[in-house]
Amino acid sequence: MASKKISLLVALILVAQSASLATPDLSRLFRRTPFNVGKYASLGESFASGPSAGDSYDKVTKCRRYKKAQGPQVTADDRIQGPKPISFDFIACSGSKLKNIYQDRTGGGDGPEAKPKISQAGALKDTDPDLVTMSIGGNDVGFVELMDRVSSNQRQIHQ
């Protein structure tokens, strides 16, 4: 009986040791090393522009850019080193699709109610940023319509 307990204990120790050898060191993956950024640009659609995330960022009301969106938060992150404040181009525009990243818009009028006519990539042409983030695709796959359908179905189920 004692030899069975010892054998079981040895087996458990071996399993524990092999498991610890198989477990990767995750600290390398989650290291937060500061890096230098002097110029930063945020491209994309509403996931990047942040509709209703704090106060309005600028007067281009059709793009619905807000101060607590991803881009402005990145500029305030203390892990990003370099000159403060970081030079920031908030190019993201709510309602954009993938084609708006690389293709200029046509029509749509002028003024603060109009969306920018130049493509988002075109707006980067002369800025030479050190860091660019992009969030795009939700409007291309009909994310809003999908959420409307899900919400509508949930209301019907709970009535």
What are the tens digits of pLDDT across the range 109-132? 666 666 778 899 998 888 889 889
- What Cα–Cα distance (Å) separates residue 23 from each residue in 10, 12, 14, 27? 20, 16, 14, 12
Asked if residue 157 is part of any domain, the answer here is no
The string of pLDDT tens digits covering residues 8-48 is 544 445 444 444 444 555 555 555 566 778 889 999 998 89
Residue 52 lies in a domain: yes
79 within a domain of the structure (yes/no) = yes
Q: How many domains does the chain have?
A: 1
- Domain assignment present for residue 46? The answer is yes
Look up the CATH number of the domain holding residue 117.
Answer: 3.40.50.1110
In a domain, 154, yes or no: no
Quote the tokens at residue 28: 């390398």
Q: Is residue 3 part of a domain?
A: no
By residue range, what is the domain housing residue 110? 35-147
Name beta bridge partners: 89: 41
What pTM, to 2 d.p., does this model score? 0.67
Q: Is 68 helix (H, G, I), strand (E, B) or coil?
A: coil
Is 65 inside a domain boundary?
A: yes
Could you tell me which of 113, 118, 97 has the C-alpha nearest to residue 58? 113
